[in-house]
Amino acid sequence: MDNEKKTEGEVIQEVQNSTDFSSSNRDEQPTGANFNETNTPKKGSSFSIGTFLLGVVVGAVVSTCVFGVAIAMVRNTPSTVTIMTNSKSEKSSASTKNSDNSAEDTETGDDEEEQYDSVVNEETMAKLQLLEETIDSYYIDSDSVTTKTLQDGMYEGMLDSLGDVYSVYYTEEELADFMEDTNGVYYGIGAYISTDEATGLPIIAGVFDGSPAQEAGLKEGDICYKVDGEITESMALDEFVSKVKGEENTTVVLTIIREGESDYLDIEVERRQIDAPTVKYEMKEGNIGYIQITEFDSVTSDQFTEALVTLKEQGMKGLVLDLRSNPGGNLDTVVEIANQLLPKGTVVYTVDKDGNRVDYDCDGKNEFELPMVVLVNGYSASASEILAGAIKDYDKGILVGTTTFGKGIVQRIIPFSDGTAVKLTVSKYYTPNGVNIHGTGIDPDVEIEYDAEAAKEGVDNQLEKALELVGEEIDG
């Protein structure tokens, strides 16, 4: 992401442990046994067939007991999970009811086979041991391979085999990064950081108003030559970002190259809690309010409320809601925002593999009564499609732009007690009118392609059309 803006990172949100999951690291080297090999007594050693048979029996009994206990631990542990739509958790207080197309129990007979046999069996374990020994014996960089690397690779491979790009395995570190990306609150300096095309060094691409970065004197265009005395020349952007973020009330020193300055500038910046801006707003000509939501994080609902209240106080007569290139986010958040716009009714509902339906409703107490246009494009996905779809179904606004991305499925984060987790696709979601948009997206009421050439001259033709339509609604 050389030219893509990104913040320094957000604070990790604690995830509730739900399922026992333990793995022991092997300190011993492989024994050298081959797949399907039969071990025989060493030449010259004393061998008793009675002792051998007794050992086999005892070993079988012990193995069966241990395996039974392990299975019981997994199956009897409650699985409290959080439901995700593209990023974060759904509200747990959502009403539940059976769907009209819910699955019914049917008698299929005792001879019906399972959908698949468990892959955790003796044959698989032997094959894994063979693969491990082969890597250890022949792989040129086997000395650099750790037990954890191989373990994580196995877990990731199992999720990859599902063929679902949204179902993934997270290591502890990856889960922390995921939660940071979806929270919207973090400890950092409050700046966008990108990569300078000319030098390849990190560059300050923007600073948040009232942020520690702004207070310390950092400016857009500052090139970061060092971070805490370490040269950034060969440093990946993610590595640089990880060094900039840190614990609250600590400091980081950035050595800056600034145009017009004859020498380096050492700027010390305090790390503080930052609310990442996900909502931008302003009043356009004709008292038409404009609100852009870039993603749905946990902080977005409050930011949207502030924007809506401010614009109303300024005499807003109509609204353009910009959801273009919004990848989605927190379903809880999008429902809260919908509650400030829609009449009483269902905002969205989900249906899982067993036909169980979950409804997310709006109370209608804050229904938006002014003309509204919603801007969408092919990168408006997931949670942004939920909001756009509900507005369209309730006829509360006109959709302008191009067909949306088409992500109509829901993911659930299932955390394990060792700090890892999996994200699985667990249900489909439907607009209030019962439409699942997965793979098709939502068509706008007024289709208009974005004019990139006009944009070079500072003209947003889609926004201009939206403002025009709102103005006509106001005048009409």
Q: Confirm whether 312 is a catalytic residue.
A: no
Q: 59-63, 152-156, 395-399 — which is least confidently predicted? A: 59-63
pTM over 0.75: no
Does 96 score more than 90 pLDDT? Answer: no
Per the listing, tokens 């970061």 go with: 224
Q: What is the mean pLDDT of the chain?
A: 79
Digit-coded pLDDT (tens) for 34-89: 223 333 333 334 444 444 434 434 444 444 433 333 333 232 333 322 223 333 33
Output the pLDDT for position 105.
35
Choice among 89, 167, 380, 382 that is catalytic: 382
Question: Which comes out higher in pLDDT, residue 111 or 359?
Answer: 359
Residue 262 has what DSSP assignment? S
Choose the weakest-confidence range: 100-114, 389-403, 455-469. Answer: 100-114
Which three-class secondary structure state does DSSP give residue 465?
Answer: helix
Distance (Å, whole) CA 286 – CA 42: 94
Contacts of residue 219, Cβ cutoff 8 Å, sequence gap at least 6: 204, 207, 258
Per mean pLDDT, which range of 202-211, 250-259, 301-310, 332-341 is the poorest? 202-211
SS3 160: helix
Q: Which amino acid is at 328?
A: G
Task: Tell me the torsion sign for CA atoms 4, 9, 10, 12.
Answer: positive
8 A C-beta contact, residue 274 and residue 185 = yes
Active-site annotation holder among 222, 393, 423, 427 = 393
Residue 5 bears catalytic tag: no
Q: Is 204 left (phi over 0), alpha (psi -120 to 50) or beta?
A: beta
pLDDT of residue 59: 45
Is the pLDDT at 127 greater than 90, yes or no? yes
Q: How confident is the model at residue 342 (pLDDT cuts 50, 70, 90)?
A: very high
249: left (phi over 0), alpha (psi -120 to 50) or beta: left
pLDDT over 90 at 412, yes or no? no
The reply to whether 275 belongs to the active site is no
pLDDT digit string (tens) for 427-436? 999 999 999 9
Q: How confident is the model at residue 114 (pLDDT cuts 50, 70, 90)?
A: low
Instruction: Please tell me which residue in 243, 392, 407, 465 is annotated as part of the active site.
Output: 407
Tens digit of pLDDT for each residue in 248-304? 999 999 999 999 999 999 999 999 988 888 999 999 999 999 999 999 988 899 999
